[in-house]
Structure 1
Amino acid sequence: MAAEHELFQEAQTQWDLEKLYADLAIAKQEIAPHKQPSLTPVERELLRGLLCRYSPTEIAAQRFTAPKTVEVSLSNSLYRYVEVLTQRDLNTLESWRDVANWLATAGYESARLEINWSQVPDVPVFYGREEELTTLKTWTTEPQACRMVMVLGPGGIGKTSLLVKLAEQIQNQFDGLIWQSLRHAPPLEKMLHHWLTQFRSLHPVPAGDVHDQLCGLTEYLRTRRCLIVLDNLDTILREGDFAGHYRDGYENYGDLLRRLGEEQHQSCVLITSRESTKEIVMLDGPSRPVRSLELPGLGPAAEGILQEANLSDEKQWGQLIRIYRGNPLVLKIVASNIRELFSGSVSNFLKQRITLITSDVSFLIEQQFQRLSVAEQELLYTLAKIREPVDVERLQQELTPNILQPLGSLVRRSLVEKSAAGFTLRPVVMEYVCDRMSREASP
């Protein structure tokens, strides 16, 4: 059998376990003075399982024992202790579900629900973003808080770091906190089941029934003010297609976003992604409860990254920041290489008149390139060959009249930028695509 600390420890994020252990021990002495005064390790383990809203059968499976053994143990011990503690008649507890409900009514729940909050990434150094933080705080706090906010931008731009800092500043305004990374693409029904088993005052919802799970979620978010962060939504979006289409088997995430964006509730959902989805596009608006924030690169605040890397030629740092569009992660990688290859001299690096594409930077762009449709890839190649800003009419002449959809998709993915002169690739993307074309042309 597993050690005590290995099972059902998630209960400690929702319940005052130490007080509950102590008070149940007193109740135990009232009806079974001949037994061990404190709760046994097994009794504590079974209690935690019930508080996590696992059935006796589910608890038995995790303890590798027979369901009947767990049921008999509960009937002879914890059920009776809970009746005494909550001042109910003996043998009136008829369902395992009553344990969590009765103890919640008795006030043994912790003040705030936290799910996966221990998984929030550490952001020891944070540069700039005061304007974006102010905007997001305005959007996410009372009296006119948004129901959903999506933060968009290319890889490495700092979307996750921004939401970590925002959450640190606003979390005390919420009754519950959920941090959910989608990096490993969890199926929606599995993710929701994990959430719902930890929600207070909510009847258990069958695992795998997504419709009922969504109803249970929205019901809870109407009665509790929760902060939910969905990090890296783009990992459940389809590769080889235009922006915003879901991978096969993940289309039900669209139902999640639609319901959380459309239905009234008092919670706030924050999302990071490299690209938006049709649900967000349809619901988004400057005065609506669903909004999007395109995260730009860092401006002068990015100098802190270069200073931390001990680069010289400070007067030319601004040019370096512009070349890499203020992308914090890319600048950290490039700064490290300038320190190693050019002894930290930005001036000597700029004399090379190249955009430094290391394997790490290339990998970031490669991730996005592989997600593109064939039409988008062809458009990138065309823009790389032209190498200067170009208008839509010329692109239509070079490729096809049906250029608007792939062009718009590339702009939304932050691979193509638009200026008064027209459309062109970002410098790092330009260098990557040119290098790719050169490799493909080699025999």
Structure 2
Amino acid sequence: MRVLLMSYGSRGDIEPMTALAVQLRALGAEARVCAPPDFAELLDDADIPLAPIGRPVRPMVKGAVTGTAPMPAEGLSQRAAALVATTYDAVAAAAEGCDAVVATGLLPAAAAARSAAENLGIPYVFVAYFPSYLPSPHHPPLPRPGSPSPAEATDNRVLWDLDLENMNALFGTGLNAHRATIGLPPVDNFRDYVLTDQPWLAADPTLSPWLQPAELDVVQTGAWLRPDERPLLAELEAFLDAGTPPVHVGFGSIPMRDAQNVAQAAIEAVRAQGRRALVSGGWADLALIDDQDDCFAVGEVNHHALFRRVAAVVHHGGAGTTTTAALAGAPQVVVPQIADQPYWAGRVAELGIGAAHGGPTPTFESLSAVLRTALTPETRARARAVADMISTDGATVAAKLLLDAVSQNHTGS
């Protein structure tokens, strides 16, 4: 049995697919990942074959976040149509001989993945990593390019209807133009076509529950976490052993507008709390600000092991980092930048396992305030209590569901 996993986005979109691929392999299935070429090393480390999609995504993400290459609504339809064509070609080739396609990430790419699965006559599953990617009366849609929602529209159902109109206008025409070239009929509802009527939610139900009642029949599997047995480097172990637990600062695959000032503010705020600092470069290229021995720079590292040994984690609020820190029982400070990150900041604050920073631009004063909350004994105790509630078998649950669905599809055909 063969499965193609397609994910177009940053590392937070790819890492869970890697976890699912590992579990599929453990159950005797073959899995490959179709993703941007940025993640060749990540997938190679897990011994998962990569079918690359187009050009690296990091420059696009960096330009969008830092403002050096902003992405206005003008021209977005054309870029989305080009992404549909590029992704379709990659997925259609990689999915030959496969029994199912699982997709996530940017919706035009996922739409192309479903078209490829449709043309091949194999099942397709869409997965979201957080609830607000999916229509629900309990939350509004994410802000998207295009026509902004009118200020007077506050009902979530109305906002989702407007979101559908916007997505049809931005993405539907390009998708249908491409479908015509490959002999497929047009779709009249872009969003529902991509998401399907039974999308999966790969998020922990304690951290991120899917609320009922809701129109979509969402299958919540739990978060997809890949076991990581890598040891920490000897130099990092020595730093950890040399003093009290440090505060980890890193923003994953999210660039920052002013990384030098962010690093300055973060390190000084950590020091003001009497703590040492671990600084992770990531796509923000954070770096140490001096050569004092109370700070240590880290690169690619086993977060599952590291976060169990820190006083707190300051991060961007990606689904994976939030879940990993919560599982480790580490208090969190979330400095949200884009997309789902404000959602995760809110959940961390609501659960009492950390603090949400107000906005994307941290200063010494603003970080000091939220660090004081995160570093209290009460927050630490709550974080440890919540850690015991988090499931670690989401990828296994999803792999079994997928293989069962494929088997039923074969039986039915």
Length-normalised TM-score, structure 1? 0.30
Who wins on radius of gyration, i.e. which is larger? 1
Length-normalised TM-score, structure 2? 0.32
More helix by share: 1
